[in-house]
Amino acid sequence: MQRLVILLFLAAGCAADEYGSFVILSNQAPTDPSVCAFIADESALFITRGQLSIASTSSYVLNPLFASRLKSEAGKELQRTVALHGARIDLTVGPIEVIENGQGSVIDIDPTDPELGANVAGITKFETLFSAALPPNGGLSNASFDLVPRRVVDAIIARAQPSATRIVHAQVVGAVEAFGDLQGSEIIGDPFQYPVTVCNDCVVSDLGSCALLDPATVARVGNPCNPFQDGIIDCCENATGGLSCPAVSTEPPAFK
């Protein structure tokens, strides 16, 4: 009986050691405005709340900084290194705020909604994969993965009908559960929550007609991981009525 109690105590201690043995500290900002690259450093710049323009053709990308709580004796660090494999994502969409002609309204999303409600497979509930190694003893590691799929943005557009005169701000909160492998067993990190606003009056700066744009204009190109999130990209209106991003002047050269 005493031996059984000891074994149960050891098993419980091991489980407590492995579950929640790593955390996501923050969503990092790129260290170089032209490259989607990061430094595994707690003092590096980070973003506390995301923005995603409805003009984006791709998902919102999360760039988490991971930190390990596992301990290791000297020389045995590899045995206590977590092989990060991916994350399980649960999104909560809404409310959606709409402002038109100075009047505001709110569209609530019912949890049972078949497209944007809770646990809709592949849209609000899905698994995203990546690969990174997280060493023990306070070790840090970077990764990148999709948090808000483009299908969510399309569904928000269909519900809210944004336009030049109809401003839309949709709240999307991602609950992230990252997972990996430690010596042949799955290991799960602490939950991480991150909010993203999907909007049609953010990130994109419209400089007007491309034909009237000063050729000397140096356009801002946006976030290197996704030009339409967490930054500013300058665009101009082309001859077909769409936006050219980043903005490039089509003004004909002056004759000398």
- Which whole number is the average pLDDT over 98-109? 94
Pair (93, 218) in one structural domain: no
- Which whole number is the average pLDDT over 87-108? 95
Task: Encode pLDDT of 78-94 as tens digits.
Answer: 999 999 999 999 999 99
Domain end point (choices 200, 221, 242): 200
Task: Encode pLDDT of 48-69 as tens digits.
Answer: 999 999 999 999 999 999 999 9
Pair (242, 168) in one structural domain: no
Residue 241: band (very low, low, confident or very high) from pLDDT cuts 50, 70, 90 = confident
Pair (253, 153) in one structural domain: no
Pair (101, 126) in one structural domain: yes
Pair (52, 101) in one structural domain: yes
- Which whole number is the average pLDDT over 26-45? 93
Q: What does the pLDDT read at residue 13?
A: 40
Check pLDDT > 90 for residue 75. no
Pair (208, 138) in one structural domain: no
Check pLDDT > 80 for residue 1. no
Domain end point (choices 200, 217, 236): 200
State which residues form the domain around 44: 2-200
Residue 43: band (very low, low, confident or very high) from pLDDT cuts 50, 70, 90 = very high
Report the C-alpha gap between 41 and 243 in whole angstroms.
37
Pair (129, 211) in one structural domain: no
Domain end point (choices 180, 200, 220): 200
Check pLDDT > 80 for residue 18. no
Check pLDDT > 60 for residue 19. no
Tally of domains within the chain: 2
Q: What does the pLDDT read at residue 8?
A: 39
Q: What does the pLDDT read at residue 253?
A: 61
Give me the percent of the chain exceeding a pLDDT of 90: 82
Check pLDDT > 60 for residue 122. yes
Q: Which residue has the higher pLDDT, 254 or 28?
A: 28
Pair (31, 92) in one structural domain: yes
Pair (152, 252) in one structural domain: no
Check pLDDT > 80 for residue 254. no
Task: Encode pLDDT of 193-234 as tens digits.
Answer: 999 999 999 999 999 999 999 999 999 999 999 999 999 999
Pair (21, 110) in one structural domain: yes
Pair (251, 183) in one structural domain: no
Q: What does the pLDDT read at residue 16?
A: 40
Prediction pTM value: 0.86
Pair (116, 209) in one structural domain: no
